[in-house]
Amino acid sequence: MRIMGIDYGERRMGMAISDPLGITAQGLPTMERTHPDEDIKKIVQLIRENDVSEVVVGLPKHMNNSLGEKAQAVLAFIEILKKFVNVPIYTLDERLSTVRAERALLEGNLSRKKRKVRVDMVAAQLILQDYLARRQIKPPESSLAQGD
């Protein structure tokens, strides 16, 4: 069983998946957003193909811990996704994950063009790796996204 990480964005979604033991996060190709129905179909297919047992989605909170428009869009996306998959979906505070991803790519001396292509995938990897690390310390309880 694997865990999937998603960095939700308006134009692209960064995707990552754990190894079978849930220790490390590997990037999947970034998904270009097309139509909400098509986006959900692609994610559902990835979940099924990879035997995903949980999903974690980055929740972009403001620095004061409040939820803005982007966070509301993520929560709405999660509610739709929950209708199509039967796995737990958790959220993880993703403040500054894209900044961390950019920094990591800069340190790798990638060109601007290559960074643009990979930043969403790396952000998803960071979100998932943070979740995996926290999970090792304390298993997931409830979350904003799951609360049924």
As a whole number of angstroms, the distance between CA 58 and CA 71 comes to 9
AA letter at 127: I
Confidence label for 147 from pLDDT (cuts 50, 70 and 90): very low
In a domain, 33, yes or no: yes
CA angle, 114 then 42 then 17, to 5°: 60
In a domain, 146, yes or no: no
In a domain, 61, yes or no: yes
In a domain, 143, yes or no: no
- pLDDT tens-place string over residues 97-146: 666 656 665 566 655 555 555 678 888 998 999 899 888 776 655 444 44
Number of domains composing the chain: 1
In a domain, 93, yes or no: yes
Confidence label for 64 from pLDDT (cuts 50, 70 and 90): confident
Nearest to 82 by CA among 144, 2, 7, 14: 144
Can you give the pTM of this predicted structure? 0.81
> Is the model's pLDDT at 63 over the cut of 50?
yes
In a domain, 133, yes or no: yes
Residues 6+ apart with CB under 8 A from 92: 56, 57, 58, 59, 127, 130, 131, 134
CATH number of the domain encompassing residue 108: 3.30.420.140
Domain that holds residue 119: 2-137
As a whole number of angstroms, the distance between CA 57 and CA 67 comes to 14
